[in-house]
Amino acid sequence: MKELISVITPNYNAAQYLTETINSVINQTYKNWEMIIIDDCSTDASIEIIQKFIKQDKRIKLLKLKINKGPAVTRNVGIENAKGKYLTFLDADDLWLPYFLEKSLHNIKDSPGFVFSSYHRYNESLKPIYSDFIVPAKVTYYDILKTNSISCLTAFIDIEKLGKLMMPKILYRQDMGLWLQYLKLIDYAKGDKECLAIYRIRQKSHSRNKFNLIKHQWFFYRNIENLSILKSIYYFVLWVIFGLKKYYK
């Protein structure tokens, strides 16, 4: 029997994108998956859209939070309920190319248990806005402290091998916090230079406010990773430099 892959999708008022996102999972060449959508108290038509898909495909599941909790808690609820050997994430406005799961499953067989891939960067209308983000072949714990090359939409983890870990309960950088936890257990995560996904860049998203991110990045180094002042300054400067290259090269 083929190994089950758990897909974690947090959703908050993403109704206008949900159909495309869910279809990108349904259209995967690898078919043994469960898609756990966790709704964080949406007030739009999200629930109706999800329930329509559930009637058509029993692999899709819906969990509804009673109180709005934010992305970290929402994803953690999905992780807790995941039944697969492998764990991966897809936000409600992003897309996978049809062979993402198949290729990631192939890549993880020759890795320490954590793989990720490159991706296209499109705007809300799915038109290219930046060049493709091509990831390195390997990243270590210290590489991720400098710049987070692992996008949430391409991370693929063997949780049977590495266990279930939870994202830190912070508004920003919760995904980075999870990757670092796993990279404390293994030597590196393996990257695939082929683009296997589409990251939709929304102008009003939290991550687009780079000035706001600055204080949260500093908080992350000091309070989540507990780095010294000197180390925090070192990695913070590198984070700024790599960030400028990532979006403005």
With beta carbons less than 8 A apart as the criterion, state whether 70 and 83 touch: no
**Looking at the predicted structure, is the pLDDT value of residue 229 above 90?**
yes
Sequence letter at residue 233: I
The mean pLDDT of 111-122, rounded to a whole number, is 98
206 pLDDT exceeds 60? Answer: no
d(CA 249, CA 131): 9
Look up residue 112 and give its two tokens.
């320490």
Q: Tell me the residue type at 136.
A: P
Per-residue pLDDT tens for 123-140?
999 999 999 999 999 999
Judged on CB neighbours under 10 Å (0-12, 13-18, 19+), 39 is buried
Length of the chain: 249
> How many angstroms separate the Cα of 69 from the Cα of each of 15, 107, 168?
18, 33, 13
Overall fold of domain 5-204: Spore Coat Polysaccharide Biosynthesis Protein SpsA; Chain A (3.90.550)
**pLDDT for residue 180:** 98
pLDDT above 70: percentage of residues in the chain: 95
Overall average pLDDT of the 188-214 stretch: 82
What are the domain boundaries of the chain? 5-204
Instruction: Note whether 221 and 236 are within 8 A (CB).
Output: yes
Closest CA to 86 of 104, 100, 70: 104
The whole-number pLDDT of residue 245 equals 81
Q: Tell whether the model's pLDDT for residue 210 goes beyond 70.
A: no
Q: Identify whether the C-beta of residue 31 lies closer than 8 Å to the C-beta of residue 5.
A: no
What span, in angstroms and rounded, lies between the C-alpha atoms of 232 and 166? 23
Q: Are 6 and 87 in contact (CB under 8 A)?
A: yes
